[in-house]
Amino acid sequence: IPVFITFEVQKLSQTITFPNIPDALVGDIPIFVPATSDAGLPITYTISDETIAYFSGPNLYFANAGTVTITANQAGNATYLPASASQEITVTKRTQSITFSLVDTAELSLGTITMNAIAGPSGLPVSYTSSNPAVATVSGNILTLVGVGNVNITASQAGNHMYFAATDVIETLVVQDTAVTIPTPVFDFDPSQTGRFTLQNVSGVDYVESYTHNGYTISKNPSVGSTLRPFLDAQGVRFQD
């Protein structure tokens, strides 16, 4: 009498060894991911969001900030069952900082100031804003002085997919009236007229017909038509209507 024996041949299990992948910064150097199966079968990978991290061959690239799950897969074969192992990693943006300085004071007549703030290490462009457009306005990196007063200039960098926004840097500028230099008259002693002085032609100053001070007389320059009244102050001899 024949005897039939029925039995089931089961596949063997396999285990994947998937070393820990450290968290990374956007743009970090790609890393080799060495997952292996104890069955010696090839490994494939899947990523939950390939806009954040992706594989090119066995190397893992970090493209944007976020958190992803990476899974090492082995599909199995006639002998081995499928297997997988997963882990989560976080990719973070990089930090940057702004280097920016301005002079403390400037005269209105200066007109414009070129600003050269730097965002490092990103090299991204820096933008500027003025707290008081009545004193200074901004166009690109050119600061135009338009009035007297105080103004805060803020340098900003908003960041991008790779870098966090930088902390703003604020510089205070005091815009002053243009200093006016009052010329000091120069006197030549005329030995032919004892005690008499004649004013030389000094730009910006008109002269008096005559003026006596400490026993000396200042006479009017004939080439100047108007007569002004002299007075003395810390600047020396000055003249006004």
Predicted pLDDT of residue 169: 98
Question: Residue 110, SS3?
Answer: helix
Neighbour count for residue 44 (Cβ, 10 Å): 12
The strand pairing partners of 66, in sequence order, are 91
219, 210 Cβ separation under 8 angstroms:
yes
Length of the chain: 241
Q: Name the token pair of 69.
A: 């799950």
Task: Choose the weakest-confidence range: 19-28, 154-163, 227-236.
Answer: 227-236
Which residues have a Cβ under 8 Å from the Cβ of 46 and sit 6 or more positions away?
Answer: 70, 71, 73
> Average pLDDT, stretch 85-101?
98
Q: pTM of this prediction?
A: 0.68
180: confidence class by pLDDT, cuts 50, 70, 90? low
